[in-house]
Structure 1
């Protein structure tokens, strides 16, 4: 799914109005009806008090349309206008008059926060104060209203985006942003819903189709894409009847040190479970017996050192190398890594200690083959790209780094983001159970296994991150967050593959059409 920038959203509205020969007011009516339908399906006429707070721009206009339809269907509605400016949008004024003609209880004008309406914990607040076009600081008295929302403990439902939240920067004052329990985002979600600094402003979100013209959606390139089942399913590579292991590549997992052979074991098992034809492990001698006994499917090659990697000597050329799990950062290992990179011709997936070694020596980064996949956790990422001020600065630095070294950078997190050139790919699978030792080694193995069997590096990154997260989502139903371990994620890879072809459950309730 494409995630549109603020500018692209405005362009999409304008394109739709022209292409479909409608007015902006008619488009606003369409939006409001979609929001009303969503609410009406779930509330079914319940008489809980609904407080609708509208700004004086187009987001407020959307709120007024919702208010009118709720009133017409008998809901207990009170509407307030946050009068923060003398300027009103044309469509706001049209819908303000339409609401006044619908009900005897006209909207209450709020010019300051001296007389805030009484709101009880069981009430519902609909937030339609600011939309994506906010280009000014939020007035102190409006912040007081937002704080009043929070103090009331009422459920807050935001229209398109929580008021005060910008689409492309982190708010300086958290109190200037509404904390929404649910946000209905128009057409597509916003990038800010997926970033650690800003995801807290809406507990849940859903994108609703407001009828932006399909030609615009298909023809417009975006810098951000959301990756779910629909996006990865076309990447799946079915296997022919006469396939054999030689068709699916020979993956090498290179790493391990005394006490950290488990990392190589996890990555190797994940690579084979993801579909690699063969997996070899290159480890210090202390890893030979553990690997041969715990993972009989793997072939094992050992360094001449007992406890660490000191000299990589191979008598075969692997299809792909997963580099770094459990490797350690001993000086001899650093020298061995430099020597290996200078002669290596295979694609690389780089993780863990290999990343830390690269971060300390820019010359090693220049030895990486193009389209190498780097999978840092937050601290490893900081060592690679430097400190950042906020998530948007982090993404900017990550893009610059990926372009400079011509690599794919996977930023691991609740919504893992894959960075390639100027594009960001936001993953939708995964859960807090992945905050466990070894889960990163499993991801390295999955991506390595996908490249081994013929996926290109970008596809392997996107598909691998998705499978890794989906596996955790399926297994956590058995284990809970706290008890999920990396081995469970490997077990779940098969389930994640099978889930690709599972039919989605049909919704129990169909949308109702507005009767007006």
Structure 2
């Protein structure tokens, strides 16, 4: 699903009005009607008090359309105008007049000198104060109104975006943003629903179709895409009946050190479980017996050193190499990594200590393969070491995009909504849950991505698809283990179920499914 920028949303509205020969007020009527239909389908005439707070722009106009439809259908509605400026949009004014024609209970004008209305915990608040156009801090009295919402403990439904939340920059004051229990987002979700600092302002969201121009929706290229089952299925490459392991790729996993052979074992198992035909692990000598004993499907090569990687040498021709899991950052390992990079042209996936070595020795980034992008899979601290400290989530994304373009790498930003970045494009994942916050889950993700590249998936596709499968596996496993007892090995065990789930009835891709997730390790 495409995630449109603020400018693209405005463009879509404009083109829809022109091509469908309608007015902006007609489009507003559509939006408000769709919001009403959603609420009506849930409430079925319930007389719970609904307090609708409308701003004086287009978002407030949507709220007035909603209020009018609720009133004419017999709901218990109180409408308030947050009178925070002298500038009123045309759509607001038209719908302000229309609502007066259907009720004697006219909207109440709220000014900074007036007391806020009483709201009980069992009431419903509809927040239609500010929309996506907000670009400056709000007035103190409006902030006080939002605090009043929170203190009431009433369920809050936001129209399009929680008021006070910007589309493209961080929040200055947390109390100046509405905390929405649910947001009905118009046409597409918003990027801020998925970023660590701003996702908390809406517990759940759903997209409403307001009939924007289909050509615009299909042809417009966005810099952000939301990845669900619908988006990954076209990338799946089914196996041919007569295929054999030699045609499904050979993956080499390089890593491990004394006490950390388990990371290589998990990564290798995940690689094979993701579909790679062959897997070889290159480890220090201390890893030979553990790997051969615990994972007989893998072949094992060893370094000459007992406990460390000191000289990476092999006589196989892998299709992809994963480096870093459990490798450590000893000087001898650093030298071995640099020597390996100087002669390597095979596609790479780099994780864990491989990332730490790149961060500590930045000149190594120049040695990464040039023809095909390398996949980097950092957790937040590893990412910070690579790109430096960021001031906010938007600064982080800008720095990652610049880093990706400069070094021709794919960066998988692991988190509750893992974001895969390549050049200027962001791919936001929708699968996963707090159970992934467990030791070894990152090693498994590295293996899944590596296994897909081995089979011939392009690294960008492999990263996006791999992140999806990794999270889907954890989602399928949670009913059996719960969040707390889910471990990395379970993710591998349920990868097959994640593949099979691709062919089940797809879930709607316009809804948020999990209000709380956790980062991959």
- SS of the residue 2:484 aligns to: coil
User: Deviation of residue 137 (structure 1)?
Assistant: 1.7
Match of 2:483 among 481, 484, 493: 481
- Equivalent residues in 2 for 1:174-185, closer than 5 Å: 174-185=174-185
1 CA distance for matches of 2:380 and 2:135?
Answer: 31
2 CA distance for matches of 1:368 and 1:441?
Answer: 21
- Equivalent residues in 2 for 1:40-439, closer than 5 Å: 40-112=40-112, 114-370=114-370, 371-439=373-441
User: Deviation of residue 438 (structure 1)?
Assistant: 0.3
Does 1:447 find its partner at 2:449? yes
1 CA distance for matches of 2:263 and 2:93?
Answer: 63
User: Deviation of residue 428 (structure 1)?
Assistant: 0.5
2 CA distance for matches of 1:424 and 1:105?
Answer: 47
Contact 1:189 1:206 in 2 (8 A): yes
User: Deviation of residue 114 (structure 1)?
Assistant: 3.4
Contact 1:122 1:154 in 2 (8 A): yes
1:421-472 per-residue CA deviation (whole Å, 9 max, x = no partner) reads 1111100111111011000000000000000001001100100000001001
1 CA distance for matches of 2:265 and 2:314?
Answer: 19
Query: Which residue pairs with 1:513 in the alignment?
Result: none
2 CA distance for matches of 1:267 and 1:92?
Answer: 57
1 CA distance for matches of 2:430 and 2:19?
Answer: 32
User: Deviation of residue 505 (structure 1)?
Assistant: 7.0
Query: Which residue pairs with 2:33 in the alignment?
Result: 33
Question: Structure 2 length normalisation: TM-score?
Answer: 0.96
Query: Which residue pairs with 1:464 in the alignment?
Result: 466
1:29-50 per-residue CA deviation (whole Å, 9 max, x = no partner) reads 0111100000000000000000
2 CA distance for matches of 1:210 and 1:368?
Answer: 46
2 CA distance for matches of 1:289 and 1:362?
Answer: 35
Contact 1:113 1:145 in 2 (8 A): no
2 CA distance for matches of 1:432 and 1:255?
Answer: 27
- SS of the residue 1:87 aligns to: coil
Structure 1: gaps (5+ residues): 507-516
- SS of the residue 2:119 aligns to: coil
- SS of the residue 1:501 aligns to: coil
Contact 1:225 1:425 in 2 (8 A): yes
Query: Which residue pairs with 1:514 in the alignment?
Result: none
2 CA distance for matches of 1:85 and 1:23?
Answer: 24
User: Deviation of residue 113 (structure 1)?
Assistant: 5.5
Q: CA RMSD in A?
A: 1.0
1 CA distance for matches of 2:244 and 2:146?
Answer: 62
- SS of the residue 1:156 aligns to: strand
Contact 2:229 2:507 in 1 (8 A): no
- SS of the residue 1:404 aligns to: helix
1:62-109 per-residue CA deviation (whole Å, 9 max, x = no partner) reads 000000000000000000000001110001000000001110100000
2 CA distance for matches of 1:435 and 1:429?
Answer: 14
User: Deviation of residue 504 (structure 1)?
Assistant: 4.0
- SS of the residue 1:325 aligns to: coil
Q: CA 1:494–1:97 in structure 2 vs 1: closer, same or farther (change >3 Å)?
A: same
2 CA distance for matches of 1:270 and 1:380?
Answer: 22
User: Deviation of residue 135 (structure 1)?
Assistant: 2.6
- SS of the residue 2:203 aligns to: strand
Number of residue pairs aligned between Structure 1 and Structure 2: 507
Structure 2: gaps (5+ residues): 509-521
Query: Which residue pairs with 1:512 in the alignment?
Result: none
1 CA distance for matches of 2:506 and 2:277?
Answer: 31
Q: CA 1:206–1:505 in structure 2 vs 1: closer, same or farther (change >3 Å)?
A: closer
Contact 1:320 1:451 in 2 (8 A): yes
Query: Which residue pairs with 1:501 in the alignment?
Result: 503
